Amino acid sequence: MTNDPPGRSRPSSNDLILPVVAAALVDIEGRVLLQQRPEGKSLAGLWEFPGGKVEPGETPEAALIRELEEELAIAVPHACLAPAAFASAPLGDRHLLLLLYITRKWSGVPRAIEATALRWVRPTDMHALPMPPADRPLIGLLDALI
C-alpha cells in the first residue's frame, strides 16, 4: 500500500535514477584523463571523468564504450573495462548513479571532441580541481586503486 494521493501515479525508479558511466583512463605514469565540461552545459568548466548516460536497453559497459568513442575518439575493448567504484548524488528531481570503470588499454589518441579541454592528472592532484559533486568522492578510491 502506498501513501500516494488517489489518481496520482508514483514515478518508477527508472524515472528517478539516472545511470551514468565514466572511465578513469590511466596512463603508464599513473595519471588519469579528465575532461572539462563545455560552456552551455550544466556544470560548465568543471573537470570530470569522461563518460555519459546509459541509454535504455544498453549495458553500462556498452554505454561507456560508445561514450568514449563519441567524446574522445578512442576504442576501448569490453574486456579492458574494470568496474572500480560508484557514487550517488542528487541531481534536481532525479538521482545520479555514477559507475566508474578503470581502463589502462585503448586504441587511438584521446581528443577533446565534446569537451573544452583534456588533462592528465594524478589522483592526489584532483582535489585542487573544480569537479562535479558525484566525481569528488571517487578521487580517494581511485587513488587507492591505481
86-145 residue pLDDT tens = 998 887 888 889 999 999 999 999 999 989 999 999 999 999 999 998 899 899 989 888
Place of cell 551514468: 20
60-74 residue pLDDT tens = 999 999 999 999 999
pLDDT value, residue 6: 52
pTM of the predicted structure, to 2 decimals: 0.86
**Residue 41: band (very low, low, confident or very high) from pLDDT cuts 50, 70, 90:** confident
**Residue 9: band (very low, low, confident or very high) from pLDDT cuts 50, 70, 90:** very low
Closest by CA to 17, choosing from 135, 138, 131, 98, is: 98
- Partners of 23 in the β-ladder: 101
CA–CA gap between residue 100 and residue 97 (Å, rounded): 10
